[in-house]
Amino acid sequence: MAIDRQNREGPSGDLRGLQEQEIALGHSLTTAERALAVEACALGRAFERAGIAFDPLTFVVMRIFEASDDENVDPLECLELLVELGFLERSVALANDLLQEVV
């Protein structure tokens, strides 16, 4: 979802449209960050029980590559954008926090 920050106008041509678009994007990213972190935590715990090292960042990046392929989107462009938005950092940090919690 592209947001025109230069003109400060959304698709409907007003500031309100831009604000709604930014809120929707933020909500979608937060939801996806949490879902990836929870999935990474579950997999990390399974790896831990099996005695296998687990890296949440690698897992998150691989899932983004998978989703990019499913959506016919260039995975490198997608990763660059998500890194710019702080998506990977937040998702991995949350996954690490969840993995540190005592079950």
Is residue 95 included in any domain, yes or no?
Answer: yes
CA distance 68 to 71: 5
Domain extent for 78: 30-100
Residue 41 CB coordination number (10 Å): 22
Token pair belonging to 98: 């969840």
pLDDT of residue 24: 86
Tell me if 23 is assigned to some domain.
Answer: no
Give me the torsion for CA of 29, 60, 39, 55, rounded to 10°.
-140
pLDDT of residue 12: 52
- Is there a domain that residue 65 lies in? yes
pLDDT at 22: 84
Task: Evaluate whether residue 67 is within a structural domain.
Answer: yes
Q: Report the number of distinct structural domains present in the chain.
A: 1
Residuewise pLDDT in 10s, the chain (103 residues): 455 555 555 455 688 888 888 888 888 889 999 999 999 999 999 999 999 999 999 999 999 999 998 999 999 999 999 999 999 999 999 999 999 997 6
In a domain, 12, yes or no: no
Residue 59 belongs to some domain of the structure: yes
Contact 91, 36 (CB under 8 A): yes
The pLDDT value recorded for residue 75 is 93
42: its two tokens = 């579950």
- Global pTM exceeds 0.85: no
The answer to the question of residue 20 being in a domain is: no
The secondary structure of residue 9, as a DSSP letter, is -
Residue 4 lies in a domain: no
